[in-house]
Amino acid sequence: MDASDDPQDAVPELLPPSRALVPAPVGAAPEQVRAWFDAAVEASEPIIDGTLASEREAADTYRRMAKAENTRRAYRAAVRAWCAWCARHDLPPLPASGQDVAAFLAGERGRKLSPETLKLRRAAIRYLHRAAGCPVPTDDVCVSETLAGIRREAAKKGQTPRKKVAATATILLRLLAPIASDVRGLRDRAILLVGFAGALRRSELAAIRFEHLEKTDRGIRLTLPQSKGEQTDAVTVPLPYGDTELCPVHALEAWQQAAGLTEGPVFRRIWLPPRPKTVVTGEPPALPRIGTQAISPQTVAQIVQARAMAAGFGRSDLGGHSLKRGALTTGMDHGVHPAKLKRLGRHKSFDVLGEYLEFGDLFDGHPLSGVL
Nearest to 126 by CA among 94, 150, 103, 92: 94
Same domain as 325, residue 181:
yes
Beta strand ranges found along 167-241 (DSSP E):
213-216, 219-224, 235-240
Q: Which of 8-12, 84-88, 193-197, 211-215 comes out lowest in average pLDDT? A: 8-12
For the stretch 258-297, pLDDT in tens is 999 999 999 999 987 777 666 666 666 667 889 999 999 9
On whether the CB atoms of residues 108 and 100 are closer than 8 A, the answer is no
Domain that holds residue 111: 7-156
Same domain as 350, residue 201:
yes
pTM > 0.75: yes or no: no
Same domain as 34, residue 118:
yes
pLDDT in the model for residue 157: 84
pLDDT in the model for residue 285: 62
Same domain as 175, residue 124:
no
On whether the CB atoms of residues 20 and 57 are closer than 8 A, the answer is yes
Number of domains composing the chain = 2
**Mean pLDDT of the residues in the chain:** 85
Question: Rounded to an integer, what distance in angstroms lies between the CA atom of residue 364 and that of residue 367?
Answer: 9
Domain stop point among 111, 132, 156? 156
pLDDT in the model for residue 187: 96
Nearest to 33 by CA among 109, 96, 107: 96
Around Cβ 77, how many Cβ atoms within 10 Å? 12
Nearest to 177 by CA among 96, 259, 85, 245: 245
Better-scored residue on pLDDT, 42 or 361:
42
pLDDT in the model for residue 370: 72
pLDDT in the model for residue 238: 93
For residue 53, how many C-alpha atoms fall within 13 Å in the half-sphere facing its CB?
Answer: 2
CATH, residue 198 = 1.10.443.10
pLDDT band at 85 (very low <50, low <70, confident <90, very high): very high
**What are phi and psi for residue 215, nearest 5 degrees?**
-80, 135
Nearest to 358 by CA among 222, 231, 168, 218: 168
